[in-house]
Amino acid sequence: MLRGFYTAAAGMIAEQRRVEMLTNNIANANTPGYKADEAALRAFPELLLSRLEKETIPAKEPRSFFKATTIGPIHTGVYMQELVPDFSQGDIKETGQPTDLALVNGTVPVDAETGRKGALFFVVQNANGDVRYTRNGNFTLDAEGYLTTNDGFYVLDENNSRIRLTGTDFTVAPDGTIRENNVRVARLNVAFAANPNAVVKEGNGLFRSENGLLPSAIGNANVTYELKQRFLERSNVDVARSMTDMLSAYRAFEANQKILQAYDRSMDKAVNEIGRLR
């Protein structure tokens, strides 16, 4: 019966974390470039229970030995193994702001190891020189004229250099080439993650690579994309589905809670009634 407590409690913890994930997705439904998380639930390894019994061989000098009797398998509950970002394309909306850029996926090859499509990102850099990746193209110009994110990360070009402009009167071609007064200034770098599982969320719409810097998609014949100026990529969160999944998680949490309460009542009766000395 005590094992039932652990199994039900494990289910409650897993569903609670799933609700937290879905709540975060819904809260970011209007965040440009946000990629929804998906939960990967796994069962704990199945255990095989055995019972040791002592047996005695009748003889002039009795001998004892232990014998293992198989009881059967037992499942020890479920847990949330990891959160996996969904890198599918979000809807594109027009904003009219010259510093807003939407990265639109074209041909993106499927990774043979994971079976998932790769992912494309803008390349940004903080003041310390740390490189991060984002799908949020809601950029701006800082006081010195550098193209940055709203959090102050510098947007990098194909040479991983910061992009400096004289004003907002510039154009961005579909391949990322930036021009001011018909003069080429730079070309936006777009990074390609062949294995999206190697990219980890860091918060504020930023990702970091677990295996060093990501290669550029520029010049990669297997990858195509398009940049759209005065547009933004919206979040790919499906709000209706997320609400349905949240209700399902609440119901599963309540079911495990009722099981836990039933075990508690049974234990109470065993201790206070069946085990009472008369």
Quote the pTM value: 0.80
- Which pLDDT score, from 0 to 100, does residue 105 have? 95
Local structure of residue 271 (DSSP, 8 states) = I
Local structure of residue 45 (DSSP, 8 states) = P
Rounded Cα distance between 26 and 239, Å, is 6
Rounded Cα distance between 190 and 205, Å, is 16
Q: Specify the 3-state DSSP secondary structure of 167.
A: coil
Rounded Cα distance between 242 and 34, Å, is 14
Rounded Cα distance between 75 and 8, Å, is 11
Residues 6+ apart with CB under 8 A from 117: 87, 108, 109, 110, 111, 196
Rg of the chain taking only CA atoms, in angstroms: 28
* pLDDT classification of 71: cutoffs 50, 70, 90: confident
Residue 4, burial from CB neighbour count under 10 angstroms (0-12, 13-18, 19+):
middle
- 205-217: pLDDT as tens digits: 999 998 889 999 9
- 151-195: pLDDT as tens digits: 999 999 999 999 999 998 999 999 999 999 999 999 999 999 999
